Amino acid sequence: MLRLPSPRRATLVGVLGMALLAAACSGNDTGTSASQAPAAPATTAPSMTASAPFGAACSAVPATGAGSLDALAQDPVATAASNTPELSTLVTAVKKADLAGTLNSAQGITVFAPTNDAFAALPKPTLDKALDDPKGLLTTVLTYHVVPGQLTPDQLAGSHKTLQGDTLQVTGSGQDFTVNGNSSVVCGNIKTANATVYLIDQVLLPTS
């Protein structure tokens, strides 16, 4: 049987003893930390999810660049819309009605923004009539899509008075909302510097 010289054997035993002691202390520290660490609040994940944009059309929002969510959050709403390809028809109408400055300078609004497909679904005579009357009919229609205050998804359902003066009605909950009974929110809770935006698939028409 091979025996280490006594000094070496003592050194080895000492090293092993220190290693075992360190391992034991480490195990005790882990157990103590685990028992003392408070459990993560159950509401953390849901609240983060609830604050994020939602809807099938949100997949078209680029991850980076001028039209990304991070970039949109830095710009006032009319400027942000001009960087969103799905809202190019709306942007044209807003500029024709000379409302870009009004929307950009508003403090805390909610905009129900019709997509290009929403405008395409309008009868052409109706759209042409509005575009030919920018200070009258077009302004009336566009301001009907704007509500004072920045509505969160939890506040969305209900009756809301618009800048035009009439009210619009939102029904639904969670991530499923309909405006005035026929216009669905296809991408909602998009933040800009001064507004919260909900993209919708039908143009809203006021009753007066």
The pairing of strands 176-179 and 183-191 is antiparallel
Name the residue with tokens 């923004």.
Answer: 113
Residue 1 included in any domain: no
pLDDT value, residue 169:
98
The residues near 34 (Cβ < 8 Å, ≥ 6 apart) are none
pLDDT value, residue 27:
46
Residue 12 included in any domain: no
Domain residues for the domain of 95 are 57-200
Chunked into runs of 10 residues, the chain (208 residues) has average pLDDT values of 42 39 42 44 40 92 91 97 96 98 97 97 94 96 98 98 98 97 97 98 92
SS3 of residue 145 by DSSP: coil
CATH number of the domain where residue 175 is located: 2.30.180.10
Quick count: other Cβ atoms within 10 Å of Cβ 78?
A: 24
pLDDT value, residue 46:
37
Residue 196 included in any domain: yes
Residue 186 included in any domain: yes
Residue 106 included in any domain: yes
Total domain count, the chain? 1
Q: For residues 100 and 109, give the distance between their C-alpha atoms in angstroms, rounded to a whole number.
A: 14
Residue 38 included in any domain: no
Residue 127 included in any domain: yes
Q: For residues 74 and 65, give the distance between their C-alpha atoms in angstroms, rounded to a whole number.
A: 12
| pLDDT tens readout for residues 17-64 | 443 334 344 444 444 444 444 444 443 333 334 479 999 999 989 889
Residue 9 included in any domain: no
